[in-house]
Structure 1
Amino acid sequence: MKFDFYRDVLSLIMGKLGLPGADNFGRESNQRRSLLLDTVMQGRRRASSCKLLQLPAEILADIVDLLADDRASLESLALVNSDCQQLARCCQFAEVNFDYSLEAKQLASQLVEDKSSQLSKPGIGACIRRVTFASHPHHVAHTHRELYESFYGDGAQSFAVEQRQVLSDEAREEYVVARAAAVEAISSLPNLETLSWRDQFSLDKNFFERITRCSAQHIDLNRPAIDDAWSLTPPLTPST
């Protein structure tokens, strides 16, 4: 079995994880965590007349940022009314990490569904300003358990080369589908400012067609392989 580091899911199981929490790319030192409520409301008026929600959006953002590490309080705030829900989401979903977990895949699916269904009220996607794509080795191994066992399990020697190849091919196809769903979700985020891409698995043409049209002002690719050589000119990239 021939191993291609940049095109084999096994490399994501073996690879070192660059923790997104230590990455300050695209982040100003004095930058708030949360987007302003008026920004994520996308032109809609606040529905609530309570005094708290009449405060300027900048003050509300500072208040909710103080609750960034208090998950219970943010969850309680989100239950008050629709405006408070969106205010809490401004903090809860300001930074999102697609780490190949089931929760991350479900979030990607929800973001795509929200975009296609044209919600009457702002969704989660409007709250996201920073995305990190970094598949965690644990989640990759858990998702592709049989592939992991064929190399590292107690019974690894019982797997034939052909079996490992089949498992590797199946895992690659599943990873590419999951990645494509995440890329579609990322390309739909209206207020995205920063995208940090940590996986070194090879990138295809579809990736660049989507990512070059997303709203991110800063894009950091961590030395990935590229399937083919393309000229980053229209129609692969926007004309302006």
Structure 2
Amino acid sequence: MKFAFYHDVLSLMMGKLGLPGADNFGRESNQRRSLLLDTVMQGRPRVSSYKLLQLPAEILANIVDLLSNDRTSLESLALVNSDCQQLARCCQFAEVNFDYSLEVKQLASQLVEDKSSQLPKPGIGACIRRVTFASHPHHVAHTHRELYESFYGDDAQSVAVEQRQVLSDEAREEYVVARAAAVEAISSLPNLETLSWRDQFSLDKSFFERITRCSAQHIDLTGRQSMTPGL
């Protein structure tokens, strides 16, 4: 059986992983990681009287950037009060990789829910400035385990061609739904600057209609994705 490579989820279980890094796309070499606290507060005043939070936003951003590799300290900072929580999030969620993991799918759902519920305080979405969509082969294989096993499992030779096709179609539909949810979340981010799309999977008209709603100043669609018929 022959699959159309860029229309099949199986292609995402192999292939090279395109993660952000050396290309530095859409990013100045001396650019700080975190957005400024005043930016992610979305016009709301700081409510804390802590002396730390009276410092200029630029200095606070430099401080949390120094803690970028200290997860424990950032988590502790986030527990102090709502202002400190948002300050910590500036660093924790400055760059998000949609890697098809369950955690990221849950984050996408939360971002959409936060946007629709109009929270009285700023949420995570305001802190995200860079997004990379790069499904990790491990997460794809884990999510679509039956499809993976039908090709690479110990009993793969006994799986009928028709059954593989059914599994492939189901996985493709599930992937497209998950991708649409991610794109909806991405389009809700008010301070997004850069979007890098790494998945080598066909894009359709619906994708482009949604992605044009995002606020990103730089959009990079890397790879050789084909367009589905009708675009």
Compute the TM-score of the two structures, normalised by the length of structure 1: 0.91
CA shift digits 1:187-230 (9 cap, x unpaired): 00000000000001001111111111210000000xxxxxxxxx
Contact 2:193 2:218 in 1 (8 A): yes
Deviates most, 14-23 or 187-196: 14-23
Unaligned runs of 5+ residues in structure 2 are 222-226
**Could you list the per-position Cα deviations for residues 170-199 of structure 1 after superposition, in whole angstroms to 9, with x for gaps in the alignment?**
000000000000000000000000000000
Query: What's the C-alpha RMSD, in Å, of the aligned pairs?
Result: 3.0
The alignment covers a number of residue pairs equal to 226
- Call closer, same or farther: CA 1:237–1:87 in 2, change over 3 Å: farther
Residue segments in structure 1 that go unaligned for 5+ positions in a row? 222-235
Give the conservation status (yes or no) of the 8 Å contact 1:213–1:237. no
1:227 matched residue in structure 2: none
Is 1:76 paired with 2:76?
Answer: yes
> 1:184 is paired with a residue of what secondary structure?
helix
In the TM superposition, what is the alpha-carbon distance from 1:15 to its structure 2 partner? 1.5
Shift of 1:2: 2.9
- The percentage of counterpart residues that share the same residue type is 92
Partner of 1:172: 172
Q: What TM-score results when the alignment is normalised by the length of structure 2?
A: 0.94
How far did 1:19 drift? 2.3
In the alignment, the residues of structure 1 paired with residue 64 and residue 229 of structure 2 have an alpha-carbon distance, to the nearest angstrom, of 36
Cα contact 1:37–1:86 (8 A) shared by 2:
yes
Asked if 2 retains the 8 angstrom alpha-carbon contact of 1:212 and 1:238, the reply is no
Greater mean deviation of Cα atoms: 70-79 or 206-215: 206-215
Counterpart of 1:137 in structure 2 is 137
Aligned pair in 2 of structure 1 residues 88, 11: CA closer, same or farther (>3 Å)? same
Kept in 2, the 8 Å contact 1:208–1:237? The answer is no
Matches within 5 A, 1:207-218: 207-218=207-218
How far apart are residue 95 of structure 1 and its match? 0.1
TM superposition shift of 1:22? 3.5
Using the TM superposition, give the Cα deviation of residue 29 of structure 1 relative to its aligned residue in structure 2, in angstroms.
0.7
CA positional deviation for 1:50 = 1.1
Contact 1:184 1:210 in 2 (8 A): yes
- Offset, 1:238: 22
Note the C-alpha offset of 1:20.
2.0
The equivalent residue for 1:2 is 2
Query: 1:71, 1:44 → 2: CA distance?
Result: 26
**Cα offset for 1:237?**
18
1:238 equivalenced with 2:229 (yes/no): yes
Cα deviation per residue 1:67-102 (whole Å; 9 max; x = unaligned)? 000000000000000000000000000000000000
Q: Any conservation in 1 of the 2:64–2:87 contact (CA below 8 Å)?
A: yes
What secondary structure, in the 3-state scheme, does the structure 2 residue paired with 1:219 have? strand
Question: Contact 1:78/1:84 (CA < 8 Å) preserved in 2?
Answer: yes
